[in-house]
């Protein structure tokens, strides 16, 4: 029975969420492109947005790269470059991770407060906007708590368990036993994170997939012409 629970949580659930992410993204970009927007409420409130949005976005982008580093890059690679385990955990994970997490948390708290207390912003929010806000806030708190709890579990090294499992998800052979020794707080963070992945494309979060990189390289004025008929 315990096995079934583990399989459900660490195999079925992550894949379901990843499939939902892929499916939703395709549907959104192919059939509902016109609905993809950053859903700005700057028009309605500016001051709190300035601090909240800037701080949150900087924090969450740093946190994103931190996750890439911690999960996708195997321990052997960082060791190959002469980064010892202690150095990695102290500087990379604890210091930089906490910094990014605190930025994201501070930003998200301001943004959530703004969304729920500013009447103009609140009435123009859809229910998914509210769900996204709360979900992000909870996930960030759990993530930050996991990072800070690192020293409490000296024997636990997520790069030997959690990260390996996460990489195995991509090879389609996840070993769910690896998750059994992971502290609860990490587990909750992982579940919340996958949940956000699952509803990502159906909500305002989808704007993160439309980063306008091409702007930096394109010329200023864009001309378009109807294609000539043959």
Q: Which residues bind other proteins (CB under 8 A)?
A: 33-34, 36-46, 49-50, 53-54, 57-58, 119-120, 123-124, 207, 210, 212, 214-216, 218, 220-229
Is residue 186 within 8 A of residue 146, CB to CB? The reply is: yes
Q: Which residues are annotated as a binding site?
A: 57, 67, 189, 207
| Shortest distance, position 204 Cβ to other proteins, whole Å | 9
Segments in 124-205 forming alpha helices (H): 127-148, 162-170, 184-199
CB of 53 to other proteins, least distance (A): 5
CA distances from 215 to 35, 54, 176, 218, 221 (A): 21, 20, 43, 5, 11
- Please say which residue, 155 or 228, places its beta carbon nearer to other proteins: 228
Binding residues for heme b: 57, 67, 189, 207
Tell me the C-alpha distance between 168 and 179, whole Å: 12
What's the min distance (Å) between Cβ of 218 and other proteins? 6
Let me know: does 14 contact 194? Beta carbons within 8 Å: yes
Q: Would you say 32 or 77 has its CB closer to other proteins?
A: 32
Return the number of the residue (177 or 218) whose C-beta is nearest other proteins. Answer: 218
Q: Is the dihedral of CA 172, 65, 53, 188 positive or negative?
A: positive
Our CB check for other proteins shows the closer of 56 and 176 to be 56
Please state the three-class secondary structure of 78-131 as a single string: HHHCCCCHHHHHHHHHHHHHHHHHHHHHHHHHHHHHHHHHCHHHHHCCCHHHHH
Nearest approach, Cβ of residue 54 and other proteins (Å): 5
Look at the block and give the residue holding tokens 């949005």. 53
- Residue with Cβ nearer other proteins (70 or 107): 107
Q: What's the min distance (Å) between Cβ of 230 and other proteins?
A: 10
**SS3 state at 86:** helix
């Amino acid at each position: 029975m315990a096995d079934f629970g583990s399989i459900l949580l660490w195999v079925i659930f992550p894949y379901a969420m990843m499939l939902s992410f892929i499916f939703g993204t395709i549907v959104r970009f192919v059939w509902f492109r016109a609905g993809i927007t950053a859903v700005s409420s700057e028009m309605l409130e500016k001051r709190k947005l300035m601090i909240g949005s800037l701080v949150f976005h900087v924090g969450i982008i740093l946190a994103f790269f931190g996750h890439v580093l911690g999960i996708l890059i195997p321990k052997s690679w960082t060791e190959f470059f002469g980064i010892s385990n202690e150095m990695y955990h102290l500087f990379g994970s604890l210091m930089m991770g906490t910094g990014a997490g605190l930025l994201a948390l501070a930003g998200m708290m301001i943004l959530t407060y703004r969304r729920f207390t500013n009447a103009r912003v609140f009435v123009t929010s859809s229910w998914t906007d509210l769900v996204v806000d709360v979900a992000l806030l909870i996930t960030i708190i759990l993530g930050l708590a996991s990072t800070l709890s690192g020293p409490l579990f000296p024997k636990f090294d997520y790069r030997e368990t959690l990260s390996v499992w996460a990489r195995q998800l991509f090879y389609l052979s996840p070993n769910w036993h690896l998750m059994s020794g992971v502290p609860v707080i990490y587990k909750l963070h992982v579940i919340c994170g996958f949940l956000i992945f699952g509803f990502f494309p159906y909500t305002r979060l989808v704007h993160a997939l439309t980063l306008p990189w091409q702007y930096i390289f394109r010329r200023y004025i864009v001309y378009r012409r109807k294609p000539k008929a043959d």
